[in-house]
Amino acid sequence: MKICQNCPCSSPSISLSSLASPCLNSELSLSLSLLLFPAESPTSPPLPARGTTGGKVSGVRGGVDVFLPSPSQPRGRFVLGRPRRLKVFSMALFIYFDYKAVQKRVKWVGAGKKDAIWTKTHERNARRVLNLMIELEGLWVKMGQYLSTRADVLPEPYINVLKQLQDSLPPRPLEEVRGTIEKELGKPMNDLFANFVLDPLATASIAQVHRATLVDGREVVVKIQHDGIKDIILEDLKNAKSLVEWIAWAEPQYNFNPMIDEWCKEAPKELDFNHEAENTKAVSSNLSRKTNCESGAVSSAVDVLIPEVIQSTDKVLILQYMDGIRLNDNDSLEAYGVDKQRLVEEITRAYAHQIYVDGFFNGDPHPGNFLVSKEPPHKPILLDFGLTKRISQSMRQALAKMFLSCAEGDHVALLSAFAEMGLKLRVDMPEQAMEIATVFFRQSTTANEAKENIKTLNDQRERNVKALQEKMKMNKKEVQRFNPVDAFPGDAIIFMRVLNLLRGLSASLNVRIVYLDIMRPFAESTLLGSMTRGPTANSQWIYDSPVNSEVESKLRNLLLELGSNKILGIQVCAYKDGKVIIDTAAGTLGKYDPRPVQPDSLFPVFSVTKGITAGMVHWLVDKGCIHVIQVHHLLNHTSGLHNALGDVMKSDPLLVCDWEEMLHQITKCTPETEPGSEQMYHYLSFGWLCGGIIEHASGKKLQEVLEEAIVHPLHINGELYIGIPPGVESRLAALTVDMEELEKLSGFRAGPDVPQELLSNVAQMATGLPVLFNTLNIRRAILPAANGHCSARALARYYAALGAGGAIPPPHSGGGSKPPLGSHVHTPKFPTMPSKKKKKGGSKNDVGVADKDGYTQLRTSDGSDEGSTVSAVVAGNGSGSGSSMFVDGGTKMLDAFMGVGDFSGMIHPNGKFGLGFRRYGYGAGAGEKVATTTFGHSGMGGSTGFCDVEHGLAMAVTVNKMSLGGVTRRVVRLVCEELGVPVPDEFSVAGDKGPDMVLNLAPPE
């Protein structure tokens, strides 16, 4: 065997970073660094190029040299136990108090001197950290390497000083290396290698790598673990755990114990080179596959190289040699013409594939674990798979859902993803949760933008702390010690660490990466691949519930026929003569939510809400609180306030979430036309006008009236809301748009009651509405014209009662569908919020934190919301038989709904609306007489509820894939035709559609 020393072939193709033990979790490292490095501190200008001389690294700012111990000097590996721990803690305390002192000092100096003070402070402490890490080696070198990659968040002096750790440490003696190789492989080195290069390619804290040639002529690299390193790593893990606990005590807002626990579990795996060999083979195999995505076969075109594994033992690993350029060798990258942007994008794609598609990924993507091939197209070379994490399919799906929910701004899907991955929150703050989660997937920044990035992150943190303080009614000290996370999943920790390391990688190469664009196809591949792609893919696409009738059986066949091309999620429920004949649910809760739609799922139904609001107005009229003559213009859409608050909403769309402010603003509006003269559809103003009257006339909150008038009498608790409460998010359907039907809008013209300016923006509005209405701040808002959330079975029961003049129908059997209608607590407490203990002798009316926040807790005298068993609620479901929602119900109430009989003078002549409800005619295009026994209300996108009084039919359809109503019309036509009931014009092929069904768009002329 030939031993080469100072041979030209010993180029540094593998850096020490690829050999060291795993560093602290990215979030821990980042947070520790932000703790020590104040956000307002400036960054320093670039350092001059470094060169190495003998045992020292020169060129550090100010001419200060950092000395590396020579092989003959005492090394950190020989120091175990108390001395090692003492060094770590004493240095941490020293640096901590240094920064605290500087924070006080800069308060008394001029603004022009602050930058210089902070720069010197960073340089001083960066050198202290570097010297300690070099002395101790082991785990601490790895941490320093990680910090040196975070140019996007750390002050520049730390980056410039700590990046010295990317260079190789002094090597171990050849005798130690030879002894380990021969012991592990069982043969003399002469029998193993034709050539072995004496100088290592790199030396790190766990191992060092030598280039060699096997006796069969293959060029390889040999990775040899340092003798005794295992004890050092385990000791360092123990010290790191203690350090995290101390920091959590000193600064409670930085409690990262769950993260360090996960790291301590994963880190020792890197000490087994057999484990690394198997990981390398698995990742190489996975990345060579193709991935099916929604748009077709998206090749893993993850164009990367991975060395072949030749042989492995516990402490020796032999790999194929690949000659490449290190990522921190900027001069060589420039000389070879490497496209850095494409390089980092390809690395990001490779990790997206590993995480979302394979569920098996390298948890340590720092610059030292990559090379760049010297031959065009300069592919990335992936190295070091010691710290490789395997996650379950359910966790992959949850991580994909979290990613895509951030991309779509879908709060419900995000909270669902949190629940699925095991992340539990103690506080109900969905907006802040979305903001924090989105930080992980934000576009990367360059090193030059680090200062501004740090400021942005800290500003965001301060806003979140302030919001938490207000939410929890805590003082500043209390909120610092409050941890909003009840449980944090270990698998997610490594995932977040990888994202931050990739961000640091892009910053170090000064490129920007849009993670939402690059990683999205892979996340979609995982999530959509796990979802039912249509009824033929899974017999459970239709929710497993008993069939109530022959017509329901035929309806389910229709849903199978329409399939997933037209349906995402749907519920259909129908009553005939007071009995349930259909109660079907099918599909999924959202485009990125594969959970099945169930009978109790809550769908946003837009203007279907108007029919519910109108019912409350009629209930107050029946109670004598108001007279119908006072509100008939509002109910009939003839008040002239159809455009009220349009300017306010344009200037601040989210102002609609402020119920009290919108009620105040609506009082300032004046009619555009003489009340009663024209019927112009009141898209949103209907809700504020009617809602304000409801609250003023009743002296109660709108939700209280909703419960008293509709929810409790009908026993539909938990399945009908106007503005949802916290605690029902797991049952919410998410909206999406049928893009094929949206393209048809270009040929339509506005109907008589649709403003042309609305039509001109209809496509933009239709695509923007799902994003807006999928956010929880909108879902929780009180919008009585457009923000109802309900199940089809609750809505159908409501119309069954209205169609009977208010008479409450028999119990909703629904063929035994589960869970039973009315079995939910209507206003649940936030599930993970710890309740406050009552003080001894406290009032029974005392409420916990959850009662004071978010949705107003509504109570009723019978206490049916709290403590009722499912059986008791279901038993009470039929107690309304023979009773009525109204005192003076029956025919008179039906006349009022439809604006006939004594109420005919209160509606607009030939108008399509009665008093609050749309009147449906029959026989469109056949010259038949318009019928006046069918009424109801549809919502934009296809959801609807109506009743046919004459034929005893009440029906509701809820959908979450917004379209021009084609699916709903097909469903209604089938049911009506099978029952021998005339099809209302709203749902016929030739009839006029209501303004909310398709915005009353007329076909092209």
At 249 the pLDDT is: 79
At 483 the pLDDT is: 56
Nearest to 373 by CA among 365, 383, 363, 364: 383
* Cβ atoms of 277 and 312 closer than 8 Å: yes
**Cα–Cα distance, 489 to 27 (Å, whole number):** 14
Residue type for 514, please? V
**Cα–Cα distance, 244 to 226 (Å, whole number):** 27
Helix 229-250 / helix 26-36 crossing angle, nearest 10 deg: 50
Residue type for 225, please? Q
Q: What is the pTM of this model?
A: 0.67
**Cα–Cα distance, 859 to 864 (Å, whole number):** 8
Sequence-ordered list of residues with C-beta below 8 angstroms from that of 535, at least 6 positions apart, any chain: 541, 542, 559, 560, 563, 564, 586
**Cα–Cα distance, 318 to 269 (Å, whole number):** 18
Give the length of the chain: 1005
Q: Which pairing describes strands 961-962 and 736-737: parallel, antiparallel, or unpaired?
A: parallel
- Average pLDDT per block of 10 residues along the chain, 1005 residues long: 44 31 34 34 32 30 32 42 79 89 88 86 92 83 74 76 76 93 96 95 88 97 93 84 80 68 77 94 86 46 91 97 92 95 94 93 84 94 90 90 83 79 67 65 59 61 66 64 61 80 84 87 81 48 92 95 83 97 94 89 96 98 94 96 86 86 94 93 94 96 96 96 90 83 54 48 62 83 95 98 95 77 81 41 36 34 35 38 82 93 92 93 60 87 94 96 84 96 85 52 35
**Residue 882: both structure tokens together:** 């023979």
* Cβ atoms of 593 and 812 closer than 8 Å: no
For residue 490, give Cα distances in angstroms to 244, 264, 421, 487, 655: 16, 11, 9, 10, 39
Sequence-ordered list of residues with C-beta below 8 angstroms from that of 162, at least 6 positions apart, any chain: 126, 129, 130, 133, 144, 145, 147, 148
Q: Where are the beta strands (DSSP E) in 734-822?
A: 736-737, 788-790
For residue 174, give Cα distances in angstroms to 3, 181, 197, 225, 311: 11, 10, 11, 13, 21
**Cα–Cα distance, 619 to 104 (Å, whole number):** 65
Residue type for 284, please? S
* Cβ atoms of 141 and 17 closer than 8 Å: no
Domain architecture of the chain: domains with CATH: 535-608+717-832+864-1005 (3.40.710)
* Cβ atoms of 23 and 139 closer than 8 Å: yes
**Cα–Cα distance, 236 to 230 (Å, whole number):** 10
Instruction: Count CB-CB contacts under 10 A for residue 634.
Output: 22
Q: Which pairing describes strands 360-362 and 324-326: parallel, antiparallel, or unpaired?
A: unpaired
Whether 331 sits among the annotated catalytic residues: the reply is no
CA pseudo-torsion sign 9, 11, 17, 20: positive
**Cα–Cα distance, 635 to 711 (Å, whole number):** 21
Nearest to 18 by CA among 208, 180, 170: 208
**Cα–Cα distance, 523 to 351 (Å, whole number):** 11
At 423 the pLDDT is: 75
Q: Which pairing describes strands 2-4 and 193-197: parallel, antiparallel, or unpaired?
A: parallel
Q: Say which residue the tokens 């669902």 belong to.
A: 416
**Cα–Cα distance, 839 to 837 (Å, whole number):** 6
**Residue 453: both structure tokens together:** 């990035």
Please spell the DSSP secondary structure of 118-173, one letter per residue. HHHHHHHHHHHHHHHHHHH-THHHHHHHHHTT-TTTS-HHHHHHHGGGGSPPPPPP
Nearest to 656 by CA among 560, 751, 773: 773
* Cβ atoms of 206 and 271 closer than 8 Å: yes
**Cα–Cα distance, 196 to 190 (Å, whole number):** 9
Calculated CA dihedral for residues 26, 28, 29, 31, nearest 10 degrees: 110
At 865 the pLDDT is: 38
To 5 degrees, how large is the angle CA 192–CA 194–CA 199?
A: 95
For residue 537, give Cα distances in angstroms to 388, 498, 532, 959: 33, 34, 6, 20
At 531 the pLDDT is: 54
* Cβ atoms of 947 and 954 closer than 8 Å: yes
* Cβ atoms of 142 and 266 closer than 8 Å: no
* Cβ atoms of 785 and 864 closer than 8 Å: no
Nearest to 781 by CA among 557, 977, 609, 974: 609
For residue 67, give Cα distances in angstroms to 85, 128, 637, 908: 22, 12, 83, 91
In eight-state DSSP terms, residue 709 is I
Helix boundaries (H) for 699-753: 702-706, 712-714, 739-742
**Cα–Cα distance, 186 to 710 (Å, whole number):** 82
Q: Say which residue the tokens 């795996």 belong to.
A: 269
Catalytic residue among 364, 853, 948, 985: 364
Q: From the centroid of its chain, how far is CA 348?
A: 20
Q: Say which residue the tokens 């195999």 belong to.
A: 285
Residue type for 309, please? V
Query: What are the b/e assignments for 182-205, b being 16+ CB within 10 Å?
Result: bebbeeebeebbebbbbbbbbbbb
State the Rg of the chain over Cα: 34
**Residue 728: both structure tokens together:** 């029902």
